[in-house]
Chains A and B, each alone.
Chain A
Amino acid sequence: MSAIAAQPDAPLAASWWKRNQLQLAPWLFLAPGIFAFAVYVMIPIVQSVSLSFYEWDGLTPDAKWVGFGNYTELWTDPDFWTSLRNNVAWLVMYLLAVPAGLAVALFLNQNVTGIRVYKSLFFFPFVISQVVVGLMFRWFYAPNFGLLSGVIKTLTGSNIAILADDRYATYGIIAAGLWPQIAYCMILYLTGLNNINSEQVEAARMDGARGWKLLWNIILPQLAPATFIAVVVTVIGALRSFDLVSIMTKGGPYGSTRVLSYYMYEKALSEYGFRMGYGAAIAVVLFLIMMVFITYFILQMLRQERDA
């Protein structure tokens, strides 16, 4: 009976689908992606924010509400401020990758035999895992037998253990991080340079523009999209720095190379870490810092979208 009753509905359903297809189709296509992203990214952010108001050791089943307790503790925690200061150092120093990448790109932007191979080999460091980069630089820096410390010793006569000295350790790690990051910026700029409007450049040359002036007035404006992406990935990379700190110093010597991302992990999950709520509070601070940049980037993209 129901089969018969359903008969007249079928074309109706089809036409209903047809009428609403354009409204419904995007949601059907989006559903799996949104679901996965919500479960693993969006909801966890909310949970972390909420967890930051609790004291929880990760072992016992129940957490204790402490309000803003974790945040007030952060305020008086010298390790937190050290981490934050190092994050600022990372951010500032890491941005050197942008001009450095541009410089390497300009150096390699020629048409000579074998240049493609050179470009690939210069890009090489970016492909390698940061764990491997960290191990390489640890070896490079190691006192007594590392290559760099060997050079320093022949130059100055004294043996400097870069990663064990709180004056240099953070910069030593940042230098290791700059290596792949410069490669990344380089490739962005090489692509950008490839697409430069050559007529405009030649016209400027006719007008007598040379060197810096040409670079600044004609080339850089055309490279703006590459610069934007380079800055975005570099800022995000700087704030996300975890792997290198973990591999090269574990935050030491005596916590002087900690950054927020590592300090958070240390407090919540590492050998001596049992403070999930406190860790979450650190993560929230890092998240808010990043949100400032993310918002700025998105506003930029929004402008581009509107222009397009």
Chain B
Amino acid sequence: MRFTSLSGLALGLALSSTAAFAGEIVLNSDQSDPAPKKAMEELIANFQAANPGITVKWNNFDHEGYKSAINNFLKANPPDVAAWYAGNRMAPQVKAGLFEDVTDVWEKNGLNDQLKSAAPSMTIDGKKWGVPYTYYQWGIYYRPDVFKANGVNVPKNWAELVAACAKLKAAGIAPFAIGSSQKWPTGGWFDYMDLRVNGYQFHMDLTGGKVAWTDPKVKAVFDKWAELVKPGYYIENAAALDWQDAIPQFASGKAAMYLMGNFAVAPMMKAGLKEDQLDFMQFPEITAGIPMAEDAPTDTFHIPSGAKNKDDAKKFLAFVASADAQTKLNATLGQLPVNSGSAKPDDKFLKAGFAMLSSAAGLAQFFDRDAPAEMASAGMDGFQEFMVHPDHQDAILARLEAVRAKAYK
């Protein structure tokens, strides 16, 4: 069924604000935070300098709002380039035919080689649907000074982590900061618990809908997680806070650790932390012997199939995929370039992240990018509830299993 019955009313009321002129490309993206915004401005300036005659008209969206806006503008008035995310997160758009196949951009520019690590997460049905421009590690950011003052060593495994939490809690410090009023920060927690308890393949099977949420192995994940939730090792009232709202507690030393992506470093520094007050560690081992896989979300650029200036858009994609552009872009972003020819970062967090990801047993995108939309939404609701009511575990898992039955069709 199509809602075209009334389109006769259109009467040529063309008001499309994104109609591009020749030599102009319209770019929609979501770099609303200060550092990403600056990185984007530089990228556009560099691109225009390298391609005289092409100008970029940039529409910058609010980061959270963008996630729902994209489905509207891809249909209504598609730009020439749109920012989005890799993995399953781009599947609905690809399946609906809203993204252009850019396999040729990969082939012509030698990207199959240079972006090899990200190729699988950009491939659906054997074709490439966009180019990755950045990725970043997830892990535990912690306060070495707070650890030291309370006689806590950097935990190497689960038992040490739980012991460290107990010690911090006894000293009146919340072991973990988190703000879960937006759903996604809980997704990071679930990802790591599952990756460490069951390993990469199981996690991919679970987010891919191949395993039941009522499986004992999933229950085992929540049982482990409960060891942190039940004793109250997270800050109070986390569900009332956005992730940024929780940073002041971390910066003031009321909380000692924060499981987050590397984009959190900039606001943490801005909140007043000095270099020696902030450090990074890999999420510790839980089930001994399981190879360590990590969350490393990849951010991407795509060409909507309705784009008006695809030729220049492809030039933009090729530019942003190049080693040099990614070096510069990621230096400002404070994240990792995907292109293997890019210069290695010299920032201590990125160095640690790069080392960790280079030896990782597998890279997950993130819960809401690996699982399809409906499952992701219900899943993160469930994680959020679990972190407040760990005793609801069985009911939550039964509910998620019911969602799984309909979300993967």
Measured CB to CB, the residues of A under 8 A from B are 39, 43, 47, 50-51, 54, 56-63, 73, 76, 78, 142-144, 159, 161, 163-166, 249-250, 252-255, 266, 269-275
A254 / chain B contacts, CB cutoff of 8 Å: 381-382, 384-385, 388
Identity of the chain A residue whose Cβ is nearest the Cβ of B72 in the assembled complex: A269
B71 / chain A contacts, CB cutoff of 8 Å: 58-59, 269, 274
- Interface segment out of the listed B134-142, B234-242, B290-298, B333-341: B234-242
A271 / chain B contacts, CB cutoff of 8 Å: 64, 67-68, 373, 377
Most chain B CB neighbours (cut-off 10 Å) among A39, A47, A59 = A59
The 10 A-B residue pairs with the shortest CB-CB distance, nearest first, are: A59-B96, A164-B240, A272-B377, A164-B239, A161-B237, A254-B385, A161-B240, A271-B67, A272-B373, A253-B239
Identity of the chain B residue whose Cβ is nearest the Cβ of A160 in the assembled complex: B237
Q: Bound state CA distance, A252 and B241, in angstroms?
A: 12
A63 / chain B contacts, CB cutoff of 8 Å: 1-2
Q: Bound state CA distance, A269 and B72, in angstroms?
A: 9
Whether the pair B93, A59 counts as a contact (CB closer than 8 A) is yes
Identity of the chain A residue whose Cβ is nearest the Cβ of B64 in the assembled complex: A271
B196 within 8 A of A: no
B399 within 8 A of A: yes
In the complex, chain B residues 1-41 whose Cβ is within 8 Å of any chain A Cβ: 1-3, 6, 9
Q: Bound state CA distance, A274 and B95, in angstroms?
A: 13
Identity of the chain B residue whose Cβ is nearest the Cβ of A59 in the assembled complex: B96
Known: A50-B1, A59-B96, A59-B98. A163 touches B240 (CB 8 A): yes
A54 / chain B contacts, CB cutoff of 8 Å: 1
Q: Bound state CA distance, A83 and B191, in angstroms?
A: 29
Identity of the chain B residue whose Cβ is nearest the Cβ of A65 in the assembled complex: B1
B282 / chain A contacts, CB cutoff of 8 Å: none
Whether the pair B240, A143 counts as a contact (CB closer than 8 A) is yes
B382 / chain A contacts, CB cutoff of 8 Å: 254
A274 / chain B contacts, CB cutoff of 8 Å: 71, 92, 373-374
Minimum distance in angstroms from A296 CB to a CB of chain B: 32
Whether the pair A252, B384 counts as a contact (CB closer than 8 A) is yes
Minimum distance in angstroms from B245 CB to a CB of chain A: 9
A76 / chain B contacts, CB cutoff of 8 Å: 402
Known: A59-B71, A143-B240. A255 touches B1 (CB 8 A): no
Minimum distance in angstroms from B406 CB to a CB of chain A: 7
Q: Bound state CA distance, A159 and B249, in angstroms?
A: 15
Whether the pair A272, B236 counts as a contact (CB closer than 8 A) is no
Whether the pair B239, A78 counts as a contact (CB closer than 8 A) is no
**Can you report 24 A-B residue pairs in the complex whose CB atoms are below 8 A from each other?**
A39-B6, A51-B1, A58-B71, A59-B96, A60-B96, A62-B1, A63-B1, A142-B240, A143-B236, A159-B236, A161-B236, A164-B239, A165-B239, A252-B181, A252-B183, A253-B385, A253-B388, A254-B384, A269-B68, A271-B64, A272-B373, A273-B68, A274-B92, A274-B373
Minimum distance in angstroms from B358 CB to a CB of chain A: 32
B406 / chain A contacts, CB cutoff of 8 Å: 73
Q: Bound state CA distance, A61 and B75, in angstroms?
A: 10
Most chain A CB neighbours (cut-off 10 Å) among B239, B368, B382 = B239
Whether the pair B240, A43 counts as a contact (CB closer than 8 A) is no
B97 within 8 A of A: yes
Q: Bound state CA distance, A163 and B180, in angstroms?
A: 12
Q: Name B's interface SS.
A: helix
B174 within 8 A of A: no
In the complex, chain B residues 51-110 whose Cβ is within 8 Å of any chain A Cβ: 64, 67-68, 71-72, 74-75, 92-93, 95-98
Minimum distance in angstroms from B82 CB to a CB of chain A: 14
Identity of the chain A residue whose Cβ is nearest the Cβ of B396 in the assembled complex: A254
Most chain B CB neighbours (cut-off 10 Å) among A51, A161, A253 = A253
Identity of the chain A residue whose Cβ is nearest the Cβ of B2 in the assembled complex: A61
B317 within 8 A of A: no
Most chain B CB neighbours (cut-off 10 Å) among A54, A161, A163, A249 = A161
Minimum distance in angstroms from A48 CB to a CB of chain B: 10
Identity of the chain B residue whose Cβ is nearest the Cβ of A267 in the assembled complex: B374
Whether the pair B388, A166 counts as a contact (CB closer than 8 A) is yes
B43 / chain A contacts, CB cutoff of 8 Å: none
Q: Bound state CA distance, A211 and B98, in angstroms?
A: 69
B92 / chain A contacts, CB cutoff of 8 Å: 57, 59, 274
Identity of the chain B residue whose Cβ is nearest the Cβ of A163 in the assembled complex: B240
Known: A164-B239, A254-B382, A275-B374. A60 touches B95 (CB 8 A): yes
Whether the pair B97, A143 counts as a contact (CB closer than 8 A) is no
A62 / chain B contacts, CB cutoff of 8 Å: 1-2
Q: Bound state CA distance, A51 and B3, in angstroms?
A: 10
A269 / chain B contacts, CB cutoff of 8 Å: 68, 71-72
Whether the pair A78, B381 counts as a contact (CB closer than 8 A) is no
Minimum distance in angstroms from A78 CB to a CB of chain B: 6
B376 within 8 A of A: yes
Q: Bound state CA distance, A78 and B382, in angstroms?
A: 12
Q: Bound state CA distance, A50 and B93, in angstroms?
A: 25
Q: Bound state CA distance, A59 and B181, in angstroms?
A: 28
Known: A43-B6, A253-B385, A254-B384. A161 touches B1 (CB 8 A): no
B183 / chain A contacts, CB cutoff of 8 Å: 252
Q: Bound state CA distance, A250 and B240, in angstroms?
A: 11
B239 / chain A contacts, CB cutoff of 8 Å: 161, 164-165, 252-253
Minimum distance in angstroms from B213 CB to a CB of chain A: 14
Whether the pair B1, A57 counts as a contact (CB closer than 8 A) is no
Whether the pair A56, B240 counts as a contact (CB closer than 8 A) is no
Identity of the chain A residue whose Cβ is nearest the Cβ of B382 in the assembled complex: A254
Q: Bound state CA distance, A269 and B238, in angstroms?
A: 27
Q: Bound state CA distance, A266 and B67, in angstroms?
A: 12
B368 / chain A contacts, CB cutoff of 8 Å: 272
Q: Bound state CA distance, A252 and B68, in angstroms?
A: 17
Minimum distance in angstroms from B60 CB to a CB of chain A: 18
Identity of the chain A residue whose Cβ is nearest the Cβ of B65 in the assembled complex: A271
Q: Bound state CA distance, A271 and B95, in angstroms?
A: 17
A270 / chain B contacts, CB cutoff of 8 Å: 68
Whether the pair A164, B237 counts as a contact (CB closer than 8 A) is yes
Q: Bound state CA distance, A159 and B235, in angstroms?
A: 12
Q: Bound state CA distance, A250 and B373, in angstroms?
A: 17
B72 / chain A contacts, CB cutoff of 8 Å: 269
B241 / chain A contacts, CB cutoff of 8 Å: 164
Contact of B96 (CB < 8 Å), options: A39, A57, A144: A57
Known: A252-B181, A254-B382. A56 touches B1 (CB 8 A): yes
B67 / chain A contacts, CB cutoff of 8 Å: 271
Minimum distance in angstroms from B207 CB to a CB of chain A: 14
Q: Bound state CA distance, A57 and B64, in angstroms?
A: 21
